[in-house]
Chains A and B, each alone.
Chain A
Amino acid sequence: MNDYAIDTEALCLSYGNKLALDHLTLRLPRGAVHTFVGANGAGKSSLFRVLLGFEQASAGSARVLGHDATRLTPALRERIGYVNEEHALPGWMRVRELKRMHERQYARWNEARYHEVIRHFNVMPDQRVCELSRGEQAGLNLALALSQCPELLILDEPTLGLDVVAKRVFLDTMLETTLFDNDGATIVFCSHQMDEIERVADNLVILEHGRLRYMNGPADFCERIRLWVAAFPFKTPDVWQLPGVLQAQTIEGHTHLVVFDQDDSFGARLKLLGAQSVQTIPLGLERAVNAFLTCGHAGTSRRAA
Chain B
Amino acid sequence: MSRRPTVVLQIVTGDPRPIVRQITDGVKRLIAAGELLPGDILPSVRGLAQQLSINPNTVAKAYTELTAEGWLHARAGLGLFVAEQRQRLSDAERARRLGEAVDRFVSDVIGLDYPQQTVLDHVATELARYAARKTA
Contact = CB atoms under 8 A, between A and B. Distances in A.
21 contacts: A33-B57, A171-B53, A175-B49, A175-B54, A179-B55, A179-B56, A179-B57, A194-B13, A198-B14, A199-B54, A200-B54, A200-B55, A201-B55, A202-B55, A219-B18, A222-B18, A282-B16, A282-B17, A284-B13, A284-B14, A285-B14
Interface in A158-197: 168, 171-172, 175-176, 179-180, 194-195
A-side interface size class = 20 to 34
Contacts of A202: 55, 57-58
Nearest to A195: B13
A199 B18 contact: no
A286 interface: yes
A64 B14 CA distance: 33
A172 B13 contact: no
A195 B14 contact: yes
B55 A284 contact: no
Contacts of B56: 175, 179-180
B21 interface: yes
List 3 tightest A-B contacts by C-beta distance, closest first.
A219-B18, A195-B13, A282-B16
Contact of B15 (A168, A171, A284): A284
Interface of A: 32-33, 168, 171-172, 175-176, 179-180, 194-195, 198-202, 218-219, 222, 279, 281-286
Contact of A176 (B16, B21, B50, B58): B50
Given A176-B50, A195-B13, A285-B14, 14 more contacts: A32-B57, A168-B53, A171-B53, A172-B50, A172-B53, A175-B54, A175-B56, A179-B57, A198-B14, A199-B13, A201-B55, A222-B18, A284-B13, A285-B18
B42 interface: no
A195 B55 CA distance: 12
A150 B17 CA distance: 33
A222 B22 CA distance: 14
Nearest to B55: A200
Nearest to A217: B18
B46 interface: yes
B9 interface: no
A204 B50 CA distance: 21
B57 A199 contact: no
